[in-house]
């Protein structure tokens, strides 16, 4: 599903966020992307979703080479990926339902289909009765679940999740981790970037551990 070959990312200012990265994530796999803050986790997710371009190396996603993708094809790649952003990126002027129908409108779904599928996604994350609320009226955990609903509403085969449990109480965190587990069991490839020990402990998966932009260990399932 995802393959990186000798990938480096240098941001303007000459800071090398990722250095000579090689890794593979197979279809249907769920992995944790770990490492302390500033290690390059978010950068890696941005490269996979073509939000940033690598400075060197080759990235394949779903059989497509990101580096050779034409600019006009990038939107279509992104539609096949569900992303939960670290900074949420919700529409704060729009209600919950509108936030979730947005990806469907973008894909050209009719209004009625969009409504139906958005409600199904909200039901999946347990937010159906909040569909008319504004995001500011939601609790931290509910807002995170809203982000997840928006990410899965297009039924993507790949889910990229950035720090899903940041600023959440452990109880909320558990519910969210269980959600990802269920998506994984349904066959979705899931990549979760986190530095939350709670997540790492509850989700015994292969870890991709980054340290200052380098891959440290590339091991199988570990338990802490």
Partner 1 sequence: MLNWISQHWHTFWQTLGRLVRAPISTLLAILVMGTTLCLPAGLYLMLHSLNRLQGVIHENPQVTIFMKILSNSSDIQQVNGLLNQDTEVKDYKFIPKNEALKSLAQRSGITDLLAGLPSNPLPDAFVVRLKNSTPENIAYFKNSVLNWPSVDSVQYDAIWAQRLAALISLGRNFIILISVLLAFTVSVIIGNTIRLQIASRQAEIEVSILIGATRRFIRRPFLYFGALQGLASGLIAWGILQLCLMAINVKISAFSNLYGSIFILHSFSPSAIAVLLAGSSVAGWLGAIFGTSYAIKNI
Ligand X SMILES: Nc1ncnc2c1ncn2[C@@H]1O[C@H](COP(=O)(O)OP(=O)(O)O)[C@@H](O)[C@H]1O
What residues line the site for ligand X (CB under 6 A)? 11, 13, 15, 17, 35, 37-43
Considering the rule CB under 5 A, would residue 165 count as an interface residue with Mg ion? no
Least distance from partner 1 to the Cβ atom of residue 191, Å: 17
Q: Which residues bind partner 1 (CB under 8 A)?
A: 49, 51, 72, 75-79, 83, 85, 89-94, 102-103, 106-108, 110-111, 150
Least distance from partner 1 to the Cβ atom of residue 114, Å: 10
Facing residues of 204 across strands? none
Rounded distance, CA 34 to CA 36, Å?
7
Residue 36 DSSP one-character state: S
Facing residues of 215 across strands? 210
Least distance from Mg ion to the Cβ atom of residue 194, Å: 9
Residue bearing tokens 């939960």: 84
Q: Draw the binding track, 85-104, toward Mg ion (x: CB under 5 A; -: no contact).
A: -x------------------
Rounded distance, CA 160 to CA 220, Å?
20
Rounded distance, CA 167 to CA 93, Å?
22
Cβ atoms of 39 and 213 closer than 8 Å? yes
Considering the rule CB under 5 A, would residue 42 count as an interface residue with Mg ion? yes
* Nearest residue (CB) to partner 1, 89 versus 218: 89
């Amino acid at each position: 599903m995802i393959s990186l070959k000798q990938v480096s990312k240098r941001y303007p200012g000459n800071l090398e966020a990722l250095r000579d990265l090689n890794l593979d994530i197979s279809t249907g796999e769920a992995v944790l992307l770990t490492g302390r803050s500033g290690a390059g986790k978010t950068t890696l997710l941005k490269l996979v979703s073509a939000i940033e371009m690598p400075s060197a190396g080759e990235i394949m996603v779903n059989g497509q080479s990101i580096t050779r993708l034409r600019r006009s094809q990038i939107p279509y790649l992104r539609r096949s990926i569900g992303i939960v952003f670290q900074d949420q990126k919700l529409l704060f002027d729009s209600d919950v339902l509108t936030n979730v129908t947005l990806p469907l409108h973008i894909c050209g779904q009719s209004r009625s289909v969009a409504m139906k599928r958005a409600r199904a996604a909200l039901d999946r994350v347990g937010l159906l009765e909040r569909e008319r609320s504004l995001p500011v009226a939601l609790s931290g955990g509910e807002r995170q679940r809203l982000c997840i609903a928006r990410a899965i509403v297009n039924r993507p085969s790949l889910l990229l999740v950035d720090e899903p449990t940041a600023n959440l109480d452990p109880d909320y965190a558990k519910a969210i981790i269980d959600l990802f587990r269920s998506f994984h069991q349904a066959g979705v490839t899931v990549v979760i970037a986190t530095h939350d020990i709670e997540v790492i402990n509850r989700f015994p998966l292969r870890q991709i551990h980054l340290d200052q932009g380098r891959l440290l260990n590339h091991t199988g399932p570990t338990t802490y």
